Chains A and B, each alone.
Chain A
Amino acid sequence: MRHDHLISAKQLSRGDIEGVLDRAAEIAADPGAFAEAHPDTLLGLLFFEPSTRTKMSFGAAMKRLGGGTIDMGSVDSSSVQKGESLADTVRVIEGYADALVLRHPSEGSAKLASEFVDVPVINAGDGAGQHPTQTLLDLHTIRENAGLDDLTIGIVGDLKYGRTVHSLAHALTNFGATQHFISPESLRLPRGVRYDLREAGAEVREHADIEAVVDRLDVLYVTRIQRERFPDENEYRQVAGEYRVDVDLLESAAPGLTVMHPLPRVDEIAPEVDETDHATYFEQAHNGVPVRMALLDQIL
């Protein structure tokens, strides 16, 4: 892969994805071999929204490649608080760093940022838009546990506001996966994502109940209802707690079902599931480091 910026999973071909995943597997097998791969490289972290996994794993990845990070810090402690535009912010910080990792609450923010700087911009989540690096680690986890060929996956929860869903669903079209989308009526895939999936030749299979499909899945990808993106709290309450994956539900699943979640979870997956062989979400989170190391290694 050689992209100036990584803004959307739609940029990624099957070859691009496999290139990153192959490198991630090499790194995971022998991380020490890459410890000096990018000395003196500085990664700029611009997180306008809270983050635990994405921010920390990017930081860890850069450091494990021999480089370092500079962090804008919280929005409250930056010039954003004084009304600085995103365009100005990124133009300033590109002078300090070799690449920028951006998380921002507005859709299209990463694309906008990429138009104002010459260093690579990596989209670490733009509102309810895209989250392509989460997709890469999701695909790595799927490949390690279920395989990417002949995959049947169920994606459940907040398909409207869930940016990890939007990116993953599109990336999976590269592998011809059979995708089932399970959500309340009000949280179905947005029109733009449906359009892209159909343009990519994918069929959009939609369901209201997990039970309708769980027995035929290789992977169940569970997502949190994105409370912070609802314009109206009442709308959130109407769908909160709609789905809960527990051991009772999993009794009807295939023994080899892989249960994933981009985390954080609220109550979508019962803690009792953590102790089953299905639970893969902590491994998934840990995969963020080798996958982001692989991505940075290719972009920088």
Chain B
Amino acid sequence: MTDTELRVSKIESGTVIDHIAGGQALNVLAILGIDGTSGEEVSVGMNVPSDRLGRKDIVKVEGRELSQDEVDVLSLIAPAATINIVREFEVADKRRVTRPDTVGGVLSCPNANCITTESEPVDSRFDVLEEGVRCAYCGTIVRESIASYIGTA
């Protein structure tokens, strides 16, 4: 345990998302749909020193083990993130995020004329490209500022 990790308290059980690029922690929470309203105990460390990333963010979610599908969507904004599943204060499983083929209901399409931006009973869906994502409905490709389209789907 390093001094850096001690800045946010250890959790008994849940998920620790480490090696998030500095400044992206709140986007990580948004992309996971964690906004505090469902009572999770969440700790966030932002812009802490990191040998690998220079500065990194850390998110700890007490009492909730995130599934691989849930964390894979983080690859869009935090491809270097590592996921630690903690049980009884010990790391029970360590994973990396992998790029999914598609992400649904996470991003809103920036094309104001896309059918998914209207009052239709569908979630947005994006195919994940080598570089960026593409709306599965209108074909709009997003490469820059993907995080700015989070959470409004």
Contact = CB atoms under 8 A, between A and B. Distances in A.
A112 B120 contact: yes
B136 to A, nearest CB: 7
A107 interface: yes
Nearest to A193: B139
Contacts of A127: 113, 138
Taking residues whose C-beta sits less than 8 angstroms from the other chain, chain B's interface range is: 20 to 34
Interface of B: 111-116, 118-122, 129, 134-141
A129 B122 contact: no
Contacts of B135: 108
Interface of A is mostly: mixed
A108 B141 contact: no
A107 B122 contact: no
22 contacts: A83-B119, A85-B120, A85-B121, A87-B120, A104-B115, A106-B115, A107-B111, A107-B113, A107-B137, A107-B138, A107-B139, A108-B115, A108-B137, A111-B136, A112-B122, A115-B122, A127-B138, A129-B138, A190-B140, A192-B139, A195-B129, A196-B139
Contact of A111 (B113, B118, B137): B137
Contacts of B116: 108, 112
Nearest to A104: B115
B51 to A, nearest CB: 37
Nearest to B116: A108
Nearest to B140: A192
Identify whether the interface residues of B are mostly helix, strand, loop, or mixed.
Answer: loop
Interface residues on A, range: 20 to 34
Contact of B115 (A109, A128, A229): A109
A196 B137 CA distance: 15
A106 B121 contact: no
A191 interface: yes
Contacts of A117: none
Contacts of B141: 191-192, 195
A65 B64 CA distance: 61
Contact of B134 (A86, A104, A128, A192): A192
Nearest to B139: A192
Given A111-B136, A192-B140, A106 B122 contact: no
B138 A108 contact: yes
A85 B141 CA distance: 25
Contacts of B113: 105-107, 127-128, 229
Nearest to B136: A111
Given A106-B115, A108-B115, 15 more contacts: A85-B120, A106-B113, A107-B138, A107-B140, A112-B116, A115-B122, A128-B113, A191-B140, A192-B134, A192-B138, A192-B139, A192-B140, A195-B134, A229-B113, A231-B112
A106 B118 contact: yes
Contacts of A105: 113
Interface in A94-131: 104-109, 111-112, 115, 126-129
